[in-house]
Amino acid sequence: MPVVLKTAEELERMRIAGRLASEVLDFISPHVKPGVSTGKLNDLCHDYMVREQGTVPAPLNYAPPGYKPFPKSICTSVNHQVCHGVPGERVLKPGDILNIDITVIKDGYHGDCSRMFYVGEPSIQAQRLVDVTFECMWLGIRAVRAGARLGDIGAAIQAHAEKHGFSVVREFCGHGIGRKFHEEPQVLHYGKPGTGLTLQPGMTFTVEPMINAGKPGIRELADGWTIVTKDHSLSAQWEHTVAVTEQGYEVLTLSRGAAPAPA
């Protein structure tokens, strides 16, 4: 399938959807604490999206080929869960790290982002992993500009993760986004500079590296969705949706509570 280049009007709609997705993360932040279940976080986010924002939670009943419908409105991935964690009865404990992944649909356009949260005081390793993963995302984003190549994004992420002794999950990647949840191109979080598709103004896609403290191997749990590290090591992920512009890039998933870019 060809890459869909967005018009100025479409980009404005994506800015709105992206900001709203990020504002769900702002809203849920104070609720992430020991003793709360991931299911409760899902219910709070669902009500906020539907009742306050008038958005549609894109993950709810999302069913790509080969998958049963996703049963919840957000993804909650705890500790060694890499991505697509299904909210439920799991209660958060002090020292846990948590990724919350939000995708909303507003006026036909998707906004997609995720953040890491600490539950109480993190371990030194957990904090290092979360910080390095955040830096990886931003290094990938800063490689985005018209005329650059997709491989430049992955190469920047891989080099930084491996320099710190961490590994990059290979099986999942960023993706084009717009009217559809998942469009072309696929944005790998590893690779070689100067390879892959040439970036053009109007492209919109996510940069969402999943970085493991141990080896890169993963496996899927019996629920058919939750992905975990094979070696049970911690995993972290951050995500923004970005647009390629004539001048470089624009991050579409920013809100007041979004963490500022690293220096």
- pLDDT, tens digit, for every residue of 147-180? 999 999 999 999 999 999 999 999 999 999 999 9
> Is pLDDT of 206 > 90?
yes
Measured CA to CA, the distance from residue 39 to residue 30 in angstroms comes to 15
Measured CA to CA, the distance from residue 246 to residue 70 in angstroms comes to 37
> What pLDDT digit, counting tens, does each position of 122-136 carry?
999 999 999 999 999
Split at pLDDT 50, 70, 90, the class of 1 is: confident
Q: Per DSSP, which regions of 87-132 are E strands? A: 97-106, 109-118
Split at pLDDT 50, 70, 90, the class of 5 is: very high
pTM of this prediction? Answer: 0.97
Once rounded to an integer, what is the mean pLDDT over residues 58-66?
Answer: 95
Measured CA to CA, the distance from residue 56 to residue 103 in angstroms comes to 9
- Residue ranges of the domains in the chain? 8-251
Helices 8-28 & 38-47 angle (0-180, nearest 10): 130
How is 140-196 classified by DSSP, letter by letter?
HHHT--TT-BHHHHHHHHHHHHHHTT-EE-SS--EEE-SSSSSEEEEE-SS--TT-S
Whether 100 contacts 258, CB under 8 Å: no
Number of H helices, E strands in the chain: 4, 15
> What pLDDT digit, counting tens, does each position of 220-249 carry?
999 999 999 999 999 999 999 999 999 999
Question: Residue 33: what pLDDT?
Answer: 98
**Which homologous superfamily does the CATH classification assign to the domain defined by 8-251?**
Creatinase/methionine aminopeptidase superfamily (3.90.230.10)
Question: Residue 84: what pLDDT?
Answer: 98
- CA neighbor of 96 nearest in space, from 129, 71, 65: 129
Whether 185 contacts 205, CB under 8 Å: yes
> What pLDDT digit, counting tens, does each position of 80-104 carry?
999 999 999 999 999 999 999 999 9
- The sign of the torsion formed by the CA atoms of 222, 224, 229, 231 equals positive
Split at pLDDT 50, 70, 90, the class of 184 is: very high
Percent of the chain with pLDDT over 70: 100
